[in-house]
Chains A and B, each alone.
Chain A
Amino acid sequence: AQTVTQSQPEMSVQEAETVTLSCTYDTSESDYYLFWYKQPPSRQMILVIRQEAYKQQNATENRFSVNFQKAAKSFSLKISDSQLGDAAMYFCAYRRYNNNDMRFGAGTRLTVKP
């Protein structure tokens, strides 16, 4: 079974600084997708960024980027120029290519200090 591990239960960052959230996963598959979701206090999960395993280029969405290391099975999220609105729980998730089942990590709570 695939598992997703987020080793940092909590992280904090100063406003305008950069922070990196870690995620590792375990799989024997070669085709899959990886995701970062954000859950603010309002509770609605929002997709932040997505990475296809077959793409070597790291995905980027504005201030959010990933460092995808397929061989190491690592998928970290970098948030640049952190803003107060970035404060949330962040979940890393894995999805096999031909499967509806998505596996989530335990989450990292990010605090942004003004």
Chain B
Amino acid sequence: DVKVTQSSRYLVKRTGEKVFLECVQDMDHENMFWYRQDPGLGLRLIYFSYDVKMKEKGDIPEGYSVSREKKERFSLILESASTNQTSMYLCASSLTSSPEQPQHFGDGTRLSIL
């Protein structure tokens, strides 16, 4: 089974802090994704990566950056956290870009910015 592991299940940070959310997958997947999940809005794509050091913006990249130095790891960075970034963050991966390949999700990180 594919395992997508997010480093923290819950995280509390302060406004202005630099925040790192880590995601690791163990199945040599090419693609990795970061989503934000908010009630009534579903999941919205922040960034995705289709290869090491490659990234593309999703729908809501403002205030976020990403890093993919190794194939198995995809980090989401909040450069200067703000209260409107309080949310659930979901990481996902897929084997290839083929739409037949499903996305596998981690358990999510519930981030609170105080």
Contact A44 B105 (CB under 8 A): yes
In the bound complex, how far is the Cα of B103 from the Cα of A47, in angstroms? 8
Residues of A within 8 A of B100 (CB): 33
Q: Do B106 and A44 touch (CB < 8 A)?
A: yes
Interface size on A, residues (CB 8 A): 27
Q: Are B99 and A33 in contact (CB under 8 A)?
A: yes
The secondary-structure label for the interface of chain B is strand
Q: B43, A91: Cβ atoms under 8 Å?
A: yes
Task: Assess the B48–A100 pair: CB atoms within 8 A.
Answer: yes
Chain A residues near B50 (CB-CB < 8 A) = 100
Which residue numbers of A lie inside 8 Å of B, CB to CB? 4, 6, 9, 32-33, 35, 37, 42-47, 50, 91, 93, 95-98, 100-102, 104-107
Q: Pick 26 A–B contacts, CB within 8 A, sort by A.
A: A6-B42, A32-B99, A33-B99, A35-B102, A37-B105, A42-B107, A43-B88, A43-B107, A43-B108, A44-B106, A45-B90, A46-B105, A50-B102, A91-B43, A95-B99, A96-B99, A97-B99, A100-B50, A100-B56, A101-B58, A102-B103, A104-B35, A105-B42, A106-B41, A106-B42, A107-B42
